[in-house]
Amino acid sequence: MQRTWFVLPLFALATLLLHGQRQREFPLWEMRAVTPQEVSPARYKQVESWELDRMERDGWELVSVAPFVLQNEERGPEGRKLVVTQTYPAYYFKRLKPARER
């Protein structure tokens, strides 16, 4: 009988905790990557500072900056293959989804 009085409150507490966890809602995020744009074959334009300012004004939070590496293979003189490596920064943002889209 004493064991029942010990187990019953534990069972009730576990039931309440599990019920509370089931109703929790997690935030939904939008993600966006801003990368260099190709302006002509093998030529890229870096991300402008005004683009980053606009993202901030629109409520985007900067999460990460990572290298965006491009390798272009071209044929050079005498048929030799030239490899040109270009590195630009890529920017990754997140923000909460608006309530109407959840």
Residue 5 domain-assigned? no
Domain count, the chain: 1
The predicted structure's pLDDT at residue 66: 93
Name the more confident of 76 and 68: 68
CB-CB contact of 91 with 59 (8 Å): no
Residue 81 domain-assigned? yes
**Tens digits of per-residue pLDDT, 30-46?**
999 999 988 877 678 89
Residue 38 domain-assigned? yes
Residues 6+ apart with CB under 8 A from 58: 95
Residue 60 domain-assigned? yes
pTM for this entry:
0.62
Name the more confident of 19 and 70: 70
Residue 18 domain-assigned? no
Q: Write b or e for each residue in 20-35: b if 16 or more Cβ atoms lie within 10 A of its Cβ, otherwise e.
A: eeeeeeeeeeeeeebe
Residue 16 domain-assigned? no
Residue 13 domain-assigned? no
Residue 79 has pLDDT above 60, yes or no: yes
CB-CB contact of 67 with 87 (8 Å): yes
| Best CA proximity match to 33, nearest among 74, 73, 66 | 66
Give the domain extent around 43: 26-97
Tokens of 59: 């409520």
**Tens digits of per-residue pLDDT, 46-69?**
999 999 999 999 999 999 999 988
The predicted structure's pLDDT at residue 44: 82
